[in-house]
Amino acid sequence: MSPAINYQKTTLKNGVRVIVAPMENTRAVTVLVLFGTGSKYETKKINGVSHYLEHMFFKGTEKRPKTIDISSLLDGVGGEFNAFTSEEFTGYYVKVATAHFDLALDVVSDILLHSKFDAKEVNRERGVIVEEINMRNDNPMQKVMELWNALLYGDQPAGWPVAGTKETMAGIKRKDIIDYFNKQYVGDNAVVTVAGNTKDGDALKKVEKYFSPLRPGKSYDKGEVRDVQNHPAVLLHTKQTDQTHVCLGARGFNLFDPRKYAAQLMATVLGGGMSSRMFISVRERKGLVYYVSTMCDSDTDTGSILTRAGIDNTKVEKAVATIVSEYKKIKREKVSDSELKKAKNYIRGKTYLGLEASDDVAEFLGGQEILENQILSTEEILKHLESVTPKQVQGVAREMFVPEHMNLALVGPFEDKSKFEELIGEI
């Protein structure tokens, strides 16, 4: 039995939610600051501004005018620090030895509250982000995931690339970045999580000291996602590659839908680990792929299940047909009790292993709070999973794997999508 994660949650006067989770069996502490904003909160004109802003926080503050003034401090104590942007939230973290906890809070609060957004740095970073976009476009494994969102949601924020495009990067001005910052980086939209070897009372006082100056206020919300589909859909990105990369799956359930637990277990049965159905049938028995896995992806308003694979260019149709056949099989036949139990144990083990470090705990707690406004314990989550039956797994399979919900995104040397549409429509 894994020990429960103990934590204290407090809301400061300016609306900032603070979560402190003391951990005795570590000498590290992580400070993770999340804001409930990302690419789903953007307009077409400024697509990519959330990610652009994330970059700009490391370009100098009033107290630390240059990038090196920030990075050298944390490098000097062997700290880990980075940031990330997604569709629905943006995060900033510093992980250090416990003795440097105050330094971590000082630096992360400084960049978030006192960045200068220097005009020269804004223009310089524009080129850096364009190169990041180029890198993603040249990486088929990353590109196919971007295509997956574009296929599911089309020309709306949920379907746009998180980093924006080279065209939108050229048009975003310093004023756009500052306006977005002023609207979204406010107290009610922030969660500060501290996890690691620190006393909860002391940690709370320190967080309050550093983050009380954050402006109070409510951010603006994202628009509703249009999530409609009437027939099988295929999106091809024609590129001369040595291996074809695909995402093949169906529309699914959002974070607040209780069916997500059955869907997660179904994904584990299908493609979780090296003894899963997809791995055995697509790779081991037929030798069609190097990598193959199935996963559920859930946001606050949308969800999907997808199988990712890297396939021999000459065997793509056969691999797609094999993946579809596994989807058909799990619709047709109930998962056995033993296979479902194995999937539950797999998720339990991965959950516990994924909470060994302070940064993992911070992300587990802070991520739930920023997206769902509540925090379930590991045991509460696992209890929901434990209650899922073979009949419920078959039920979600029959709901999801129907022709009008099926989608295939593909990067490889193909131009005609008609055969692929036919294959995924045979579900």
Q: Has 380 been annotated as catalytic?
A: no
CA distance 360 to 20: 13
How many C-alpha atoms does 134 have within 13 Å on its Cβ side? 6
Angle between helices 200-211 and 101-114 (to 10 degrees): 30
CA distance 374 to 272: 27
- Please tell me which residue in 42, 54, 87, 88 is annotated as part of the active site: 54
Q: Is 423 left (phi over 0), alpha (psi -120 to 50) or beta?
A: alpha
DSSP letter at 224 equals P
CA distance 69 to 157: 35
The DSSP secondary structure of 333-395, one letter per residue, reads SPPPHHHHHHHHHHHHHHHHHTTSSHHHHHHHHHHHHHHHSS---HHHHHHHHHT--HHHHHH
**Residue pair 78/97 in contact by the 8 Å Cβ criterion:** yes
β-partners of residue 29 are: 96, 196
Smallest CA-to-CA distance from 202 within 420, 8, 382 is with: 8
* Residues assigned a catalytic role: 54
